[in-house]
Amino acid sequence: MSTIDIDQLLPVPAYRAGDAEYDRASETWTRTGHPAVVVQPRSAHETAAAVAFARDNGLVLSVRSGGHSGSGHSTNDGGLVIDLSRLAEVEVLDDDLVRIGGGARWGAVAETLRSYDLALTSGDTASVGVGGLTLGGGIGWLVRQFGLAIDSLVEAEVVTSNGDILTANATDHADLFWALRGGGGNFGVVTSFIFRAHPLEGVHFGAIPVEHNSIGGLLRAWRDVMRAAPEELNSTFLAMPAMGDMPAGAQVLVCYAGTDDAAATAAIAPLLAIDGVTGSSVERMSYADVLGEPPHPPEGIRVANNNGFAADFDDDAVAALARVFENLAGSVLMIRYLRGAFNRVEPDATALAYRDSEVLVISAAFFPPDAPDEAVAAYNAEWATLLPHVQGLYGNFSALASDEATTLMYPPETLRRLREVKAGYDPGNLFDQNHNVRPAAPDWS
């Protein structure tokens, strides 16, 4: 790779190992890559030049928005990384429309929208990139009230593998627009998005810690409350092992979308009445202040995770999940309650198809770096016992990088449509550093 002449990219900013920008842009939240070159385009046209350079030089091509890819796809070894950090504008337009660059971070978006009393479903943390989260679907703290991030997406500017700069929306390149909403980075580089934001002056957000003797009983109580809760109340159940200075424990995280104290208090009260609740840190704040940063696993720790959607979080599913959690001592359990606006979108309206789901179940386990593969296999086998109760896979929360992961993410008909769209916009599969959708074979009939 040392023979690559990056001067061909001028005036597009490009960096090699040893340059100041290289180290930051070649790292992600989960891995450090060693690409041959990192490019930081400042426009769609410069992005097209970078795509052409990677294609013409036969380079593996990764696209980096925020660098939070759980599977490490936003960097590579020996290839080219398009780092979108210079395409980070956030501009509020008329009619509550917002133009956001593909390299913007959700914290900056929320800060800008704060001044307009507007909000969008976003990542949970400030440093998550708009591009990766949106293309994967975008589950966040406001999902029950406003749906996924893709449900507020109006338009996208896309650079395709042949260098075309396209506008995709419900009218123009509608097939591409459908695929972008949940199909990941398979179809091109999205240099900007236009969303329709939602009026929101603030939220009530915080944690409700709970002591329990039975994880199953606690989950049933939480589920029953959420089944009757207004859509403004978003809630996540979290059970953690002891990590560093943090003791083991369970808590319910809540985000009530609205500043009406009386309405928020009434909505949250049933959660506070669950047996074992020991307090509450819920308070009114701006949505921008909700977006913190996740604890980073200690360096060298081996992480395994799984997730799946449950259409009906019934007592059998609760019992199965409780058994798995108790058998996996030291694992993390997170359950995000959905329904509401998430369910009102038809399953075939976007590439993220599991719209009948009541909850998204996420599990993670941490192993020392020298842990045998058998330990990870045992964790995965225990998770597999849940498969009668969960379906699919949410790619944004998955570290899996195999064809099996792609098959899990999309029902057969959705995957068939995605492969057809892929064949139309990226027939050579240049954009393969993702949960890869392989292009459909040509129909010679």
Structure confidence at residue 112 as a pLDDT band (50, 70, 90): very high
Picking from 86, 108, 136, the residue at the C-terminal end of a domain is 86
Q: Inform me whether the pLDDT recorded for 208 exceeds 80.
A: yes
Question: Does residue 25 belong to any structural domain of this protein?
Answer: yes
Is residue 10 predicted with pLDDT exceeding 80?
no
Which of 170, 199, 228 represents a domain boundary (last residue)?
Answer: 199
257 shares a domain with 214: yes
Structural domain includes residue 420:
no
What CATH number corresponds to the domain at position 16?
3.30.43.10
Question: 53-62, 161-170, 182-191, 297-306 — which is least confidently predicted?
Answer: 297-306
Do 165 and 267 reside in the same domain of the chain?
Answer: no
Q: How many percent of the chain have pLDDT more than 70?
A: 95
What average pLDDT does range 113-122 have in this prediction?
97
Do 266 and 142 lie in one domain? The reply is no
Two structure tokens written together for 82: 């398009």
Mean pLDDT of 392-401: 87
pLDDT digits (tens, 9 = 90+) for 247-272: 778 999 999 999 999 999 999 999 99
Q: Identify the domain boundary among 143, 165, 199.
A: 199
Asked if residue 416 is part of any domain, the answer here is no
pLDDT at 333: 94
- What are the tens digits of pLDDT across the range 324-360? 988 887 789 999 999 999 999 999 999 999 999 999 9
**Helical spans, DSSP H, in 160-214:** 174-180
pLDDT at 2: 47
With a cut of 90, say whether residue 78 has pLDDT above it. Answer: yes
**Is pLDDT at 402 greater than 60 in this prediction?**
yes
Inter-residue long-range contacts of 309-312, CB under 8 Å, 24+ positions, other chains counted: 309/338, 309/354, 309/357, 309/359, 309/360, 309/361, 309/390, 309/391, 309/392, 309/394, 310/357, 310/358, 310/359, 310/360, 310/361, 310/389, 310/390, 310/391, 311/354, 311/356, 311/357, 311/358, 311/391, 312/358
How confident is the model at residue 198, as a pLDDT? Answer: 98
Which CATH number fits the domain that encloses residue 326? 3.40.462.20
Per the structure, the count of domains in the chain is: 3
pLDDT at 3 over 70: no
Res. 300: pLDDT tops 70: no
- 321 and 226 belong to one structural domain: yes
**Domain enclosing residue 337, as ranges:** 203-403
Q: Are residues 216 and 351 in the same domain?
A: yes
Please report, rounded to a whole number, the percentage of residues in the chain having pLDDT higher than 90.
Answer: 77
